[in-house]
Amino acid sequence: MKYGRPLISLYLNGSGFISIVIIFVVRRFRRHPSYPPGPKGWPIIGNVLDVPVDYGWEAYREMGRKYDSDIVHLEAFGSHIVVLNSAKAAGDLLGKRSNIYSDRQVTVMAHELTGWHRAVGFIPYGDYWRTHRRLFNQHFRAAAIPQYHYKQIKAVRRLLRSLLDSPEDFLDQIRFTSSAVLLDIVFAFDIKPGDYRIELVERAMAVANLIVDGGTQLVDLIPSLKHLPAWLPGAGFKRTAAEWKVHVDGMFNTPFDEFKATMGDEKAQECFTALVLSRRGKHEEHNEEIDQIARNLAGTAFAAGSDTSVATLTIFIYALIQFPHAQAAAQAELDSVLGQRRLPEISDKDQLPHVTAIVLEVLRWRPAIPLGIPHRLTVDDEYNGYHIPAGSIVMGNAWAMLHDEAVYPDPEEFKPERYLNDDGSLRADMPYPAETFGHGRRICAGRHFAHDILWLAIAHILTVFKVERPLNDGGQEVTPEVEFTPRFISVPKPFKCRFTPRFSGAEALINISSIATQD
């Protein structure tokens, strides 16, 4: 596990070093309030060396265990980082006190240098954010999701066809499916495999993976470093950020500008972006603002939905080859309800609790965004006798919360049955793993859409395929042991598996359904 390396790799020029010394001297002789427990810092740099760069969710949980606290504190160059490792602490602060914990840190790297300020999840708390959230909720609240079910089902059934034809390319096919359904809903684009817009979102999200986790970029802890000339040794972060910004700009601008050029098409009139732009009026200044909001919302929906859906479906596939027993009960249930004669519909959900249990366990076992997007506290606060200063970066460690042994025994095991009663019905006393979608007023606004397409994809795959481990050269099954990526969005690194049709009519069922969903 790596700690603090990018934070100390940047050369500190004279003015930056003097600023740090001043901060240290002021803080050294000022009375310290009672912060939450955490590692003891060094003079001047504080806990810079303790801030984890990779797999931060595991490191922060271990800190909590070491200090016997569900809330830990670090300080780096005067910036405070507070990590919440329990659902109770997150609920108390990010939930019940969301009026003061819903802000975002405006960072140099994300907001000023790379263009991520346009993503709704990064917009600071206030009226501008509320406008974005209100418009997004109008189209993605729970009651609005049924209008998207047809397009979700169409995309999932095309995925089945692709898995049947080229199972070895399942990772690329999942990426295509996730991007295709969102480009259809957001822009009314009908894309083919290999579409260049998929690469746009992948490159932009690769940037997010490197810069979002709190405290991993030194320029965010010492903003004055942004004034260094790009040519100066040690200021290479500015040149890198300029390259990253090209990718982020491409994701926000290219699909949106292409859509505006086709707005006269009848099909385009009912998509999400067209409905937001329909709020345009006679005043040019108002229209410019609506255009920018629509651009922000469309780019956010495309980016966040594509990448997290890919991660969660990939985690589902990986879970099945690590714990192959998990699919048998759900497949027996599917056969009982569907009779191996048709594919599932969203209306079948109440009759398929084992499928729902798998969905819940996928969300719990490996949350795609383990640390979420950091919150920012706007005023000084007190919690359980601890002082949390205004401006603190506050992170909800979803991974630690969803691996709490008191709530989820054997948390490292993939056990969908933990959500089921002995009679196979869903347990009412088990919490929904909402932490995987964030907390409080900043909880993911697209979570209802994400849950339904995940349920449909899992139900369809389990209906027609048995997901199996790959074979070695001797024809024997082997269990892939792969690492998960260590940053913002955590997903298994590429691995192999097999998709085997479960019954004699499975292929015919896939063929018929894929034809029926063609427009």
Binding site, annotated residues:
444
With contact defined as beta carbons under 8 Å apart, do 17 and 232 qualify?
A: no
Could you tell me the sign of the dihedral formed by the alpha carbons of 336, 341, 342, 347, in that order? negative
Alpha-carbon distance 463 to 365, whole Å?
A: 22
CB count in 10 Å sphere of residue 507? 14
Alpha-carbon distance 497 to 493, whole Å?
A: 13
The pair of structure tokens assigned to 3 is 């700690």
Using DSSP's 3-state secondary structure scheme, residue 154 falls into helix
Could you tell me the sign of the dihedral formed by the alpha carbons of 57, 60, 64, 69, in that order? negative
Binding-site residues for heme, please?
444
Alpha-carbon distance 346 to 209, whole Å?
A: 33
Alpha-carbon distance 500 to 506, whole Å?
A: 10
CA distances from 208 to 114, 341, 377, 395 (A): 9, 43, 22, 16
Alpha-carbon distance 42 to 20, whole Å?
A: 13
Strands 79-84 and 393-396, how do they pair?
A: parallel
Which residues touch 254 (CB under 8 Å, ≥6 apart)? 197, 200
Which residues touch 127 (CB under 8 Å, ≥6 apart)? none
